[in-house]
Amino acid sequence: MAIRAGIALGSNLGNRLANLRKARDMLLTLMPEGTQYLQAPVYISSPVNCPADSPDFFNTVVEIDFIGTPHDLLRSTQGIEFHIGRVAVAQTNAPRIIDLDILYFDDVKLQDGGILTLPHPRLIYRRFVLQPLVDIRPELVLPGDVATVGEHFRRLDSDEPELNLLQSAW
């Protein structure tokens, strides 16, 4: 049986919009035939906790149907990152061609020793994730929570600047 999984997409190197499109299209190949996905607009955001002079990010969120385990999806997202050209670097939060983060995996709560934590532990604290997620799933209540993501967004206390809408349909 398919579950719903939310995935954040970000890019701040190369053709950022093309990178997001390619990642989205590859994520869609993971879905069972005949299922639907949700796609948020793409926003431009300032880098958070990144090295000085890092380029702005293009960020969005998609929600897909998926059959498999959270770790299966993690392997798939890491494979997509590799295929698009992401390379491992020692510098924390270095600029990257593509970044895919699993935000939630249906109602699964998971803490796997730093490999995978679900829901994503910083999801409700990051404007660049919450805003696109609210665009597609404002009434979503994450496992173990009582507030909707829309409520978290309205109460967000963040130093992050407002996001700039880049493109609604991409």
pLDDT at residue 1 tops 90: no
pLDDT at residue 93 tops 80: no
Q: 3-state secondary structure string, 16-70? A: HHHHHHHHHHHHHCCCCCCCCCEECCEEEECCCCCCCCCCCEEEEEEEEEECCCH
pLDDT, mean over the chain: 94
pLDDT of residue 51: 82
- What is the C-alpha to C-alpha distance for residues 10 and 154, in angstroms, rounded to an integer? 22
Q: pTM score, two decimals?
A: 0.95
pLDDT at residue 91 tops 90: no
Region 2-8 average pLDDT: 96
- What is the C-alpha to C-alpha distance for residues 167 and 170, in angstroms, rounded to an integer? 6
pLDDT of residue 90: 67
Query: Are 102 and 6 contacting, i.e. CB atoms less than 8 angstroms apart?
Result: yes
- The fourth-level CATH superfamily of domain 3-167 is 7,8-Dihydro-6-hydroxymethylpterin-pyrophosphokinase HPPK (3.30.70.560)
- What is the C-alpha to C-alpha distance for residues 52 and 122, in angstroms, rounded to an integer? 22
Render pLDDT for 8-18 as a digit per residue (tens, 0 to 9): 999 999 999 99
Render pLDDT for 104-145 as a digit per residue (tens, 0 to 9): 999 999 999 889 999 999 999 999 999 999 999 999 999 999
